[in-house]
A and B are shown apart, each in its own frame.
Chain A
Amino acid sequence: MSAHHPHDELLVSYAAGTLPETASVIVATHLALCPACRKSVSRAECIGEALIQDIAPVRMEALALDSTLARLDEEQPSTTVAPPVPSGDPLLPRPLRDLVPQGLQALKWKTLGGGFRYAALKADGAGRLGLLEGQPGKATPHHGHHGDEFTLVLSGGYTDELGAFARGDLQCGDSTLMHRQVVDAGAACLCLVLTRGGIRPSHPVLRLLARFLPF
């Protein structure tokens, strides 16, 4: 059971269907691992229903019901099949796995130095979504952020000033978060990361180099 969860406003936006796709992917992947947040989302969906009950209805076109009834016996399109789980990879939950259909090894990884590598997955209005992997015992430089940063642990774990994070935990940081993430000893740590605005290392030289980071 995860110990770190998305804020309510993120779960409400997911239930309302107003998040950009990258943010929805990270929330839905957390939901696959977190029964407690699934419950919050279903409560938020009840709110959506309560609001829709209150809305002034708009009359449907005259033949709408008849033409819908006439289509009920049409053949159903076949449903999509989940991509297979590549052997050797940590188990990526859907919907994330749909973005990595060929498995982790087929992604284009960029080495960041210091024992970290990054693979970009998707970008939109919410930010850039990618996978970040750190080797056991390695640490990121102490850094802040120019915008929101969401980190979902998929395997292994890390510790920073705010606590310990393991599979299923989602860390929601904003521009006030300053931290140094240390990967747990023993196993590599794989995280799904959504960043907006890039990172801001505390060290001035690293701050210059941060311009060349892929996120």
Chain B
Amino acid sequence: MTLADPSTLTPAEMTARLVAVGRERDKAAFAELFSYYAPRIKAYLIRHGAGASQADEVAQEAFITVWRKAAMFDPAKASAGTWIFAIARNLRIDSIRRGRRPEFDPNDPAFVPDPEAQPDDTLEAEQMRARITDAVNQLPPDQAEVIKLSFFEDKPHSEIAAKLALPLGTVKSRLRMAMRRIRSTIEASS
């Protein structure tokens, strides 16, 4: 199988690969996604305390799930990377933390669906991802640090506060400021 070097693919091309996996069961596209994302998922799992071989196994398992669920992927709602991240996160909770990930179910009769038209609906998932990535990269260092620790340390904010020798209130307010900043970047440009 000849593959493009996946590191040269744009995020939009990654999303197109994932659509091809879902619609055409395209194994070459699957292999490209694997080559790019599996080593990153493995690194993410190791950051969360997995050993190297467990991280390898769980990353493989994540891609089995990607294959099985790809038909449900909706490129209007998420980019490939965001969708794959969510799968890796859920498997991390299952296999490394040995917990359960409670999630809402859009097919549940009690589920309240999205209202028809929303102001930033026109903002494509890919544009949204790109703007959020830019906003994250432009966060002031103190806000970026708490955001990173929130995603990469399986710890409550109280422990993150202790680690940074900061009051809990400061950690929470930095997170809120970061989210506000990200939100205003999205809204200003839409």
**Chain A residues engaging chain B, CB cutoff 8 angstroms:** 1, 7-9, 12-13, 16-18, 20-21, 24-25, 28-29, 31-35, 38-40, 42-53, 55-61, 64-65, 67-69, 71-72, 74, 76, 82, 85, 91-95, 97-98, 125-126, 168
Residues of A within 8 A of B92 (CB): 17
Bound-state CA distance A109–B128 (Å) is 46
Minimum C-beta distance from A90 to chain B (A) = 9
Bound-state CA distance A24–B108 (Å) is 18
Partner of B179, one of A12, A24, A72: A12
Residues of B within 8 A of A52 (CB): 40-41, 44, 81, 85, 88
Across the interface, do B104 and A93 meet the contact criterion of CB distance under 8 Å?
A: yes
Bound-state CA distance A65–B182 (Å) is 36
Residues of A within 8 A of B148 (CB): 51
**Nearest 4 pairs between A and B by C-beta?**
A57-B39, A95-B102, A93-B110, A32-B104
Across the interface, do A64 and B60 meet the contact criterion of CB distance under 8 Å?
A: yes
Across the interface, do A12 and B93 meet the contact criterion of CB distance under 8 Å?
A: no
Minimum C-beta distance from B137 to chain A (A) = 7
Beta-carbon nearest neighbor of A34 in chain B: B112
Across the interface, do B102 and A60 meet the contact criterion of CB distance under 8 Å?
A: no
Across the interface, do B64 and A8 meet the contact criterion of CB distance under 8 Å?
A: no
Across the interface, do B59 and A21 meet the contact criterion of CB distance under 8 Å?
A: no
Partner of A71, one of B42, B64, B107, B112: B64
Across the interface, do B133 and A60 meet the contact criterion of CB distance under 8 Å?
A: no
Across the interface, do A28 and B89 meet the contact criterion of CB distance under 8 Å?
A: no
Q: How many residues of B contact A (CB 8 A)?
A: 78
Beyond A52-B88, A65-B35, A95-B103, 16 additional pairs, beta carbon < 8 A:
A7-B176, A12-B147, A12-B175, A17-B89, A20-B99, A20-B156, A39-B118, A42-B82, A45-B85, A50-B136, A53-B81, A56-B43, A64-B60, A68-B34, A72-B27, A98-B102
Within B33-59, the residues touching A (CB, 8 Å) are: 34-35, 38-44, 46-47, 52-53, 55-56, 59
Minimum C-beta distance from A169 to chain B (A) = 12
Across the interface, do B60 and A68 meet the contact criterion of CB distance under 8 Å?
A: yes
Minimum C-beta distance from A101 to chain B (A) = 14
Across the interface, do B109 and A91 meet the contact criterion of CB distance under 8 Å?
A: yes
Residues of B within 8 A of A68 (CB): 34, 60, 63-64
Partner of A24, one of B102, B136, B147, B172: B102
Across the interface, do B157 and A49 meet the contact criterion of CB distance under 8 Å?
A: no
Q: A47-B147, A52-B40, A55-B40 are in contact. Are A69 and B27 (CB under 8 A)?
A: yes
Residues of A within 8 A of B103 (CB): 28, 95
Across the interface, do A9 and B157 meet the contact criterion of CB distance under 8 Å?
A: yes
Partner of A82, one of B41, B46, B64, B108: B108
Across the interface, do A64 and B40 meet the contact criterion of CB distance under 8 Å?
A: no
Across the interface, do A72 and B101 meet the contact criterion of CB distance under 8 Å?
A: no
Q: A16-B151, A17-B89, A55-B40 are in contact. Are A60 and B56 (CB under 8 A)?
A: yes
